[in-house]
Amino acid sequence: MRTAYKMRAYPTPQQEAVLNRTFGCVRLVWNKVLAWRQARYRKERVTTSYAESDRYLTELKCDPELAFLSEVSSVPLQQTLRHQHNAFVNFFSGRSRYPRYKSRQGRQSASYTRAAFKWRQGRLYLAKMMDAPLEVVWSWPKVDPASICPTTVTVSRDPCGRWYVSFAVEVEAPDEASTTGSAVGLDLGITHFAVTSDGVKIVGARRLARRERSLARYQRRMTRTQPGSSNHRKAKAKIARAHRKVGASRADFLHKTSSRLIRDHDLIVIEDLNVKGMVRNRRLAKAIFDSGWGTFRSMLEYKAARYGRHLIVIDRWYPSSKTCSVCGHLLTELSLGTRTWRCPSCRTLHDRDVNAAKNILAAGLAVTACGGDVRHAGVSRVRSPVKQEPQPARARIPVLLQGRE
């Protein structure tokens, strides 16, 4: 299994100069090759392979105006061609969007393979900087740094000036977590980040909303400075630090929440939310982005596969909020502002989110009852059973639990 260890790095001023020069060359090669790919396709209507882009890189190095490309390690330049080739493969496969040009603004990175770095006794030596090791702070107390054998090292710098090193390592897959016999359905929302079928409401911290006033003040200060001046760079770095704190706090919350759910439940059922379509609502877009639903689902997917849990994703059109979890009655309409409603058939008073989570769990249990294995490491998807006759969820769940045994 492939994993990565990311930690802070503290390069010397001389190492910073070499790394910044490497970042610039990596960015230049990416943009030059991308423009050449596009022009070649428009003119000749042919795609470009990695070998052809590698030969074009050799031509760029022979250009007297680009002779500085030979002053940095050639491995990061070749790695950016591999990344660009994989980006096009993912684009044509429908897994990502079209590759874009790189900017000197934002995060900068360079990747080194084994031919361009040495990792000895917890000390990192990079190509063109072999005279002194790059200082890194090992932040994984349960892992001995001298025991790992990294295959790739990625050095990066975020917009606020912090340096990081990421080690890609091949490790043995962890043992599957012990079974708990528990299943849970999740209904993601804005007022509460998630509501479980057990009635537990997980409150989201709204990280961006907390710092919104401070960010607005920092941005006003930056607009009063002269672009390119020292004060402008300082104000811009301050904004970047504020955004970094928001992102780090959100990632910490999502990791802890997803890990707790994976640890406590064998089966987790969620909805396939159309986040891209939902953010078109201007009133809710900022709150949806601040919640991080897409990142949360990705975390659940890879953690479920790693620890032998089963994640089921039901269809987004499944009427979980409008269906009574007791008798199965389906409402014709239910406005978004209605948080509680009483079933006209069985007269049960429902909390909108808890009722939806119970129905999501019932739909996921139907998958396991039809032959699925709760211990299976993977993600299953189930289509909406809207066209079927609704059945009482309370009478259906015990039968499904018997099918899991």
Question: What is the arithmetic mean of pLDDT over 344-349?
Answer: 90
Residue 139 pLDDT > 80, yes or no?
A: yes
Pairing of strands 152-157, 108-113: antiparallel
Question: What is the arithmetic mean of pLDDT over 317-346?
Answer: 88
Q: Which of 353, 373, 389, 405 is catalytic?
A: 353
pLDDT value at residue 225: 94
Tens-digit pLDDT profile for residues 272-281: 888 888 888 8
| CB 284, CB 278: distance < 8 Å | yes
What are the percentages of helix, strand and coil residues in the chain, rounded to 5? 45, 20, 35
pLDDT band at residue 140 using 50, 70 and 90 as cut-offs: confident
Percent pLDDT > 70 in the chain is: 90
Q: Give yes or no: 315 in active site.
A: no
| CB 400, CB 382: distance < 8 Å | no
Q: Give yes or no: 266 in active site.
A: no
pLDDT value at residue 90: 95
Residue 382 pLDDT > 60, yes or no?
A: no
Q: Which of 175, 264, 271, 405 is catalytic?
A: 271
Q: Give yes or no: 65 in active site.
A: no
Cβ-based neighbours of 33, under 8 Å, separated by 6 or more = 53, 56, 57, 81, 84
CB neighbourhood size of 47 (10 A): 11
pLDDT value at residue 377: 40
* Strand (E) or helix (H) holding 202: strand 201-202
Q: Where are the domains of the chain?
A: 2-170, 183-204+246-404
Geometric angle at alpha carbon 342, from 341 and 346, rounded to 5°: 150
Could you tell me which residue, 208 or 244, shows the higher pLDDT?
Answer: 244
Residue 399 pLDDT > 70, yes or no?
A: no
Residue 100 pLDDT > 60, yes or no?
A: yes
Could you tell me which residue, 320 or 390, shows the higher pLDDT?
Answer: 320
pLDDT value at residue 398: 34
pLDDT band at residue 177 using 50, 70 and 90 as cut-offs: confident
Task: Give all strands (DSSP E) within 272-355, no chain letters.
Answer: 310-314, 340-342, 349-351
Question: What is the arithmetic mean of pLDDT over 19-28?
Answer: 96
Output the pTM of the full model.
0.80
Question: What is the arithmetic mean of pLDDT over 267-275?
Answer: 89
Q: Which of 187, 198, 212, 373 is catalytic?
A: 187
What is the distance of C-alpha 326 from the center of its chain?
36
| 129-143, 193-207, 308-322, 360-374: range with lowest mean pLDDT | 360-374
pLDDT value at residue 125: 94
Geometric angle at alpha carbon 333, from 330 and 337, rounded to 5°: 120
Residue 383 pLDDT > 90, yes or no?
A: no
Whose CA is closest to 188, among 366, 386, 327, 321?
321
